[in-house]
Each structure stands twice: as structure tokens, then as C-alpha cells.
Amino acid sequence: MTRLADLLSTVFERRYRPSPPLALQDLSLAELAEDLIGSAGETSGIALAGEFLCRFDRLDDDEKLTIFRHIATAMDIDASAARAALDAYQHAPSKVTYRAYVEKAEPRRQELIRRLNRVPGATGQLVRMRAELLRLGGKEPALAALDLDFRHLFVSWFNRGFLVLRPISWESPAHVLEKIIAYEAVHAIDSWDDLRRRLEPGDRRCFAFFHPAMPDEPLIFVEVALTLGIAGSIQKLLAETRQIIDAEDADTAVFYSISNCQAGLAGISFGNSLIKQVAADLSRELPGLKTFVTLSPMPGFARWLQERELSDDILEPEVLRALAALYLLAAKRADGLPLDPVARFHLGNGAMVREVHTGADVSQKGLNQSVGVMVNYLYDLAKVAQNHERFATHHDIAASSGIRALAATAQKNLSQDKPI
């Protein structure tokens, strides 16, 4: 925890550091975990939990796997006890039988994780612990079950209602900014100067979700460019030589990068809320903003073309655009959802496919993955709920009429040749 966080929100936490009773040092990690579950009260529990967390951090990978496996198996559900408690509750529903059932139905390792979390600052450590579990766990069923327990609790702890949206700017603390540099996953930030170019100009914004128990750790962040009109090239959007406009004059906010920061929060989605909240907020701060779009990669497009042996045909930008539209609207997985992962994300949020651009990302990565094509997903706050509903229920993809027409052209041309 930082000095700042310490001062502002938890000034007293850090100070209460009784050295661990000697006895604790003689216990193994497994014994500590067992005692923590059994501990009658909170008093010794915090010391036990603190000792456990502190020692876990110093383990090597093999030792970590060992303790994970121990927790996963030794603290699994007692199936017969759970079954008996269920029978008792079903037979005679009451406060007593339900309390017994709730206790037995849940593996003790969930209670272990909750008790570890009593130590001030433990939440971040538990998130990192799950990241280690995911890294080391592979496909082991027992560890997958332990991971589900972590996930079950994290869904509750990182509930949307607990998250705080904060702007990230050049005035943000350096120890937070260095994490933005480290976590940017879409368009890498090379240096502090590069970071400043993303944050300081008047036509740039950045926002992140934070959890109050991890005040120095962004969970997810989005970078925004304020523009006149919808941007169709990431290089132009980020060009240092661009004309920097006044935020008040912008009519469009372009979400050009969204990055998750915590491997230990895998599977707990924040991006949906983040984009919509930022859009809602920006529209209030800057009433001139009328359009909220992404400028997104199409990471599966190049491979999809290759699989259709279409790579050589695409000299013409218009042909490429049409194929891109077709890819977004028609290329599906077995479950009926779009093949493209970015498309799944934004369409699942209720966005619509607004436009596609060729030559839009001429970086090596952009050419390799997407043949340089990028796509604007439009977030129309008045329609996201409805779009989302149709997508979730019927897998209907919302798209502009231009995109529909493009896709139809491509379909027609292809069908005369070979099917997709």
C-alpha cells in the first residue's frame, strides 16, 4: 500500500503490526490455514492470516502448487455432510437447518479465502494469489474448482457497486501511471514521454476502475481521444503532429484502447460498465459530444481470410472493406456468436458495427492480425440495452445500413465463387 493510500483511507491500518506470536512461526502453511478456519474469534485469526499471506509470497512455484493442492483437496466439500444437511433442511426448513446447510454446502476453502481477506490490504494479495493459481494450475480439476471458489468470491467483492471510476491524467500519481504503462495491452506505451502524449493533451482522456481495497491498482482502463468526426486510422489518431483540438469543440469520443490490469480477476468483466459509464460521463462534461465509438482491431480477420485463401484478392480497399463487414456480421463460432473476440465483447455490450476502415492500423501487429483493417463499434446509449438484449437472446448483430450493404456485396461476390 502506498503512503498516499495509507494517509487518505486507511491511516491507521499500517500501524497495527504486532509481531507474530512465536508459536505461529513453527506452524506449516497447511497448519496455519487449518487453524485459521478453526479459529474461534477474529483476534488470533488476523495474525494467522497475516502470517499465511506473508509466507505465501515467498514460496517458489512448486511450493505454491503444493499448498494450492492441499487447500483444494483438504478443504473440499464434505459431500455426505452436505447431503445430510440438505436432507435435513428439505425435511424441516428452519433457521437452524438452513444455517447448517449453508455451512456444509460450501467448501471450507471459501471460508479460508474470506478469512485471509480480513487482513488490511489482503484483497490485492488474494488477487495475485489467484493469478498464480491460474498460471500454475493448468487443467487439474481440483485446482480448477479452487479457482472457481476464488472467482465466486471475487464476483461478490468486485461487484459493480463497489467499484470507483477515476480519471487518469498526467496529474495522477506516478506509481499508478507506471501501471498504466505496464498494463496497456492494445497499443503499447513506450516511455513516460509516450504516456504523457496519451494523457496530457486537451483532446485525450483516460479512465480506470478502482476497488477501494486496492486503491493503487487500476482494474481496467480505457483511453479516449476526442475528435471531430469518427477516426479511421489509429496512427493518425495518435500522431504527435495532429492538430490538438479543444475538448469543448469535439463531437466524437473514440475509445481506442481498453486494457485489463489484473490477471487474477480473469473472468470478471468490467469493460462493459466502464465504457458505458465513461460515455455517460463525457456526454455530461462535454455536451458537444454526440458520438461514442471505438476504434478496434479485428484480431481474427487475417486468419479468416487465409482460411478462405482470399489473401491475394484484397488489393482493392473496397473489396477488403466488404470482406471485413462480412467477417463481422457472418463469421460465427459453433455457438452462434461472432468469431471475432473483440466483436463478441462490444456487441455483447450492446454496441453496433458502425464502420470499417482499411489502412487503419499499419503497425506490424495490425497488418498481421487484421490486414490493417479496423472497425468502429458505436455505443448509442439510447440503444445499447435493446441491442444487447437482441444479441444475447437471438445473436442478432446490430450494424449500420452501410455495413449491411457492404457485407451483402461481399456475400454475393463470394457466393458466385465459393461459400464462406
What residues are labeled active site?
Answer: 296, 346
When asked if residue 420 is in the footprint of a copy of itself (CB under 8 A), the reply is no
| Closest separation in Å from C-beta 374 to a copy of itself | 24
Residue 28 CB, nearest distance to a copy of itself (Å)? Answer: 20
Residues in 287-326 that interact with a copy of itself by CB under 8 A: none
Looking at residues 138 to 197 of the shown chain, list those that interact with a copy of itself (rule: CB under 8 A). 141-142, 144-145, 147-149, 152-153, 155-157, 159-162, 164-165, 167, 169-175, 177, 192, 196
- Give the whole-angstrom CA distance, residue 201 versus residue 268: 32
C-alpha cell at 158: 468486485
Query: Which residues inside 13-42 make contact with a copy of itself, applying CB under 8 A?
Result: 13, 15-16, 18, 21, 40-42
Show Cβ contacts of residue 286 under 8 Å, excluding neighbours closer than 6 positions: 226, 247, 248, 250
Radius of gyration of the chain from Cα atoms?
Answer: 25
Per-residue contact string for residues 55-84; x = within reach of a copy of itself by CB under 8 A: ---------------------xx-x--xx-
Stretch that binds a copy of itself, among 9-17, 217-225, 231-239, 315-323 (CB under 8 A): 9-17
Q: Which CB, 164 or 405, lies closer to a copy of itself?
A: 164
Residue 378 CA to chain centroid, in angstroms?
20
Nearest to 355 by CA among 332, 309, 322: 322
For the chain, report the end-to-end CA distance as a whole number of angstroms.
53
Max CA distance (Å), the chain? 80
Q: What is the dihedral of CA 252, 255, 256, 257, to 10 degrees?
A: 160
Of 98-106, 237-245, 296-304, 316-324, which part binds a copy of itself (CB under 8 A)?
98-106
- Minimum CB separation from a copy of itself for residue 63, in Å? 24
- Counting Cα atoms < 13 Å in the Cβ hemisphere of 279 gives 22
Cβ 221 to a copy of itself, closest distance in Å?
Answer: 14
Q: Tell the smallest beta-carbon distance from residue 236 to a copy of itself (Å).
A: 26
Enclosing H/E stretch for 292: strand 291-294
- Nearest distance, CB of residue 26 and a copy of itself, angstroms: 16
Name the residue nearer to a copy of itself (CB basis): 213 or 374. Answer: 213
9 forms part of the interface with a copy of itself (CB under 8 A): yes
Q: Least distance from C-beta 171 to a copy of itself, angstroms?
A: 4
DSSP per position, 295-329: -EE-TTHHHHHHHTT-GGGTTSHHHHHHHHHHHHH
Shortest approach of a copy of itself to residue 157 CB, angstroms?
7
344 binds a copy of itself (CB under 8 A): no
Name the residue nearer to a copy of itself (CB basis): 98 or 239: 98
Q: Which of 29, 32, 33, 122 binds a copy of itself (CB under 8 A)?
A: 122
Stretch that binds a copy of itself, among 273-281, 299-307, 353-361, 397-405 (CB under 8 A): 273-281
Give DSSP secondary structure letters for 321-355: HHHHHHHHHH-B-TTSSBSSHHHHHHHHTT-EEEE
Q: Please, which residue, 281 or 313, has the CB nearer to a copy of itself? A: 281
Sign of CA dihedral 408, 339, 396, 317: negative
Between strands 252-260 and 291-294, the pairing is parallel
Nearer to a copy of itself, 5 or 403 (CB): 5
Count the neighbouring beta carbons within 10 Å of the beta carbon of residue 409. Answer: 17
| Residue closer to a copy of itself, measured from CB, 167 or 402 | 167
* Number of residues engaging a copy of itself in binding (CB under 8 A): 99
Q: How many of the other CB atoms lie within 10 Å of CB of 134?
A: 18
State how far the alpha carbon of 419 is from the alpha carbons of 256, 303, 325, 343, in Å.
Answer: 33, 16, 15, 22
Q: Is 260 a binder of a copy of itself (CB under 8 A)? A: no
Stretch that binds a copy of itself, among 59-67, 102-110, 397-405, 406-414 (CB under 8 A): 102-110
Q: Is 389 in the site for a copy of itself (CB under 8 A)?
A: yes
**C-alpha dist (Å) from residue 7 to 2, 13, 137, 163, 213:** 8, 10, 37, 20, 14
Q: Which of residues 193-222 bind a copy of itself (CB under 8 A)?
A: 196, 200, 212-213, 216
